[in-house]
Amino acid sequence: MNRLLLCTASLATLCTSVPALALDIDPAAMQQELAAMRVQMQAMAERIDTLEGDLAEAQAVAQMANATAAAANVSATQAVERGGVAKADSLVTSWKGAPQTTSASGWSFKPRGRLQYDAGFVSAPGSTGREAGFGNEVRRARLGVQGGMPGGFGYKFELDFAGDEVSIADAILTYETGNVELTVGQHNNFQGLEELTSSLSTSHLERAAFTDAFGFERRVGVSMAYGTGDVIVQGGVFTDNISELSNKNWGADGRVVFAPKVGAAQLHLGGSVHYADLETGMTVRYRQRPAVHFTSERFINTGSFGATSEFGLGGEAAIIRGPFHATGEVFWQSANRPGALADPTFFGGFAEIGMFLTKSDSRGYKGGKFDRIKPKNPVGDGGAGAVQVNLRYDRLDLNNSGIVGGTQDGLLASLIWSPTDYTRFMVGYAHLDYSDAVYSAAGGDTSYSVDSLGVRAQIDF
């Protein structure tokens, strides 16, 4: 077809040109010119034949490629439906104190960390011979990662660099299905509201005295948490802290929480139980600092004694309504001693009230524990952040069954300024009255008071 059009056009051109040239060109010359044109036209016709063949071949190849691609797309779709090939992930990055990247297939990754720097003073009777005065420390300096994986799995790993040692804080793998979450690795046991509340969200520089005195800490184990409606049930079997392994110690912990909303108020009621079986020859010791961590002095201390097991029972309650909150806990810890020795039971507990001075701010609560403060008018958005005051009475009694570790009754006050969700500044004061203290003052007196004042600067991501 293309060749016919070309020949027709050429002949038309020739026919219109010949009359014009006839007057100037003789017949012999015209014959030579026509012969040359015929040669050129033949060459052009052959070239057109070649191009038409190449075009037909290219069209055939294109059709084959399209068919192959369509078949491959169908196969890929079928493979994805069978779970054989993963779809290309679309990534979304959000900001939660640090960048968190999440994929459509269920992967997520977020760096995490915190820094808490404490400083302050401890005042004790000079006649006790105990070191007092100024102290300071990096209370916590943690770095880690957390995230999720397809299928409901998650992970968290965090190291603590405080002091001159590196220790593992959390190291867990989780699996969540429906209302159930399983956790394997080093993580918190279930020993009360105060212990499970993050150090980022506590209302005083240190947790209640009994939590540290009774040795509450992260341990390696397997646990399960079930939540439905207003009820949370938690339980697990644990060995020891990862830094103490390997040994034969093991324990079990459980906790039940009922947390209904009543009008504008968030209520919290809970109870916990603790049991630990200790390796033969093990000893226990219960003691506590004077409401700050930057001193190594402990005026209440049972000293070490042999024990075959521990058993503890705790109760907890809290209410949050607008800017106001109230909370309290009690805990009894028994140590079973070998042989015919009497088994002591020690007691700890506290009661607290708190109030925000800034408008519309309230204490956070989530998952059966207190959560971070989120100022309604943070610094940076034209606001002043959130300001909170808290008052607490704290008691620890380490006297029982012939063991005289002393008693500590504390009155604590704190002022907390949270400029943003992820920054915090605290001032805490404690007045602590001791009886049967382990260090004697002048004249052998073991009943006296100690005061502590501490400040904290905190940031996390």
Q: Where are the domains of the chain?
A: 2-82, 117-140+179-460
Q: What are phi and psi of 56, to 5 degrees?
A: -60, -40
pLDDT, one tens digit per residue, over 391-412 is 999 999 999 999 999 999 999 9
Of 61-70, 85-94, 254-263, the one with minimum mean pLDDT is: 61-70
Over residues 32-46, mean pLDDT: 71
Q: Are 235 and 273 in contact (CB under 8 A)?
A: no
408 C-beta neighbours (distance < 10 Å), count = 29
Of 75-79, 81-85, 86-90, 213-217, the one with minimum mean pLDDT is: 81-85
Over residues 407-432, mean pLDDT: 98
User: Does domain 117-140+179-460 sit in CATH 3.90.550.10?
Assistant: no
205 C-beta neighbours (distance < 10 Å), count = 26
- Report pLDDT for 12: 45
* Residues 85, 77: Cα–Cα separation, whole Å: 9
- Report pLDDT for 229: 95
Over residues 5-33, mean pLDDT: 50
**HSE value, Cβ hemisphere, 13 Å, CA-based, for 461:** 11
329 C-beta neighbours (distance < 10 Å), count = 26
Q: In this structure, what token pair is assigned to residue 238?
A: 């644990």
* Residues 429, 27: Cα–Cα separation, whole Å: 125
Residue 20 pLDDT class (50, 70, 90 cuts): very low
pLDDT, one tens digit per residue, over 352-379 is 999 999 999 999 999 999 999 999 999 9
- Report pLDDT for 13: 43
Q: Are 250 and 273 in contact (CB under 8 A)?
A: no
Over residues 90-94, mean pLDDT: 90
72: helix, strand or coil: helix
3-state SS, 428-453, equals EEEEEEEECCCCCCHHHCCCEEEEEE
The CA-based dihedral angle spanning residues 25, 28, 33, 39, taken in that order and rounded to the nearest 10 degrees:
170
Over residues 202-224, mean pLDDT: 98
- Closest by CA to 98, choosing from 117, 114, 85, is 114
- What letter would DSSP give residue 126? G
pLDDT, one tens digit per residue, over 328-344 is 999 999 999 999 999 99
CA dist list (Å): 312 to 196, 261, 303, 446 = 16, 29, 19, 28
Query: Which residues pair with residue 251 across a beta bridge?
Result: 238, 276
Of 21-35, 171-185, 193-207, the one with minimum mean pLDDT is: 21-35
Interacting residues of 14 by C-beta distance below 8 A, sequence separation 6+? 34, 37
pLDDT, one tens digit per residue, over 282-337 is 999 999 999 999 999 999 999 999 999 999 999 999 999 999 999 999 999 999 99
* 66 pLDDT higher than 90: no
- Report pLDDT for 4: 41
Over residues 162-188, mean pLDDT: 95
- Report pLDDT for 99: 92
Task: Kindly tell me the burial class for residue 169, based on how many C-beta atoms sit within 10 Å of its own C-beta (0-12, 13-18, 19 or more).
Answer: buried
- Report pLDDT for 36: 72
* 47 pLDDT higher than 60: yes
pTM of the model: 0.79
- Report pLDDT for 85: 41
Residue 70 pLDDT class (50, 70, 90 cuts): low
- Report pLDDT for 88: 58
Q: Which long-range contacts (CB under 8 A, 24 or more apart) does 7-15 make?
A: 7/41, 7/45, 10/37, 10/41
Position 312, amino acid: G
* 2 pLDDT higher than 50: no
- Report pLDDT for 38: 73
CA dist list (Å): 364 to 265, 319, 383, 425 = 12, 11, 19, 17
Q: In this structure, what token pair is assigned to residue 47?
A: 């070239």
- Report pLDDT for 139: 97
More confident residue, 18 or 250: 250
The residue to which tokens 């943070």 are assigned: 378
* Residues 288, 297: Cα–Cα separation, whole Å: 8
29 C-beta neighbours (distance < 10 Å), count = 11
Over residues 50-59, mean pLDDT: 63
Residue 17 pLDDT class (50, 70, 90 cuts): very low
* Residues 210, 302: Cα–Cα separation, whole Å: 13
Q: Which long-range contacts (CB under 8 A, 24 or more apart) does 178-182 make?
A: 179/226, 179/227, 179/228, 180/224, 180/225, 180/226, 181/224, 181/225, 181/226, 182/222, 182/223, 182/224
- Report pLDDT for 35: 73
- Report pLDDT for 260: 98
- Report pLDDT for 31: 75
More confident residue, 17 or 121: 121
CA dist list (Å): 408 to 67, 125, 129, 299, 317 = 83, 15, 19, 8, 22
* Residues 265, 152: Cα–Cα separation, whole Å: 33
Mean pLDDT, rounded, of the chain:
89
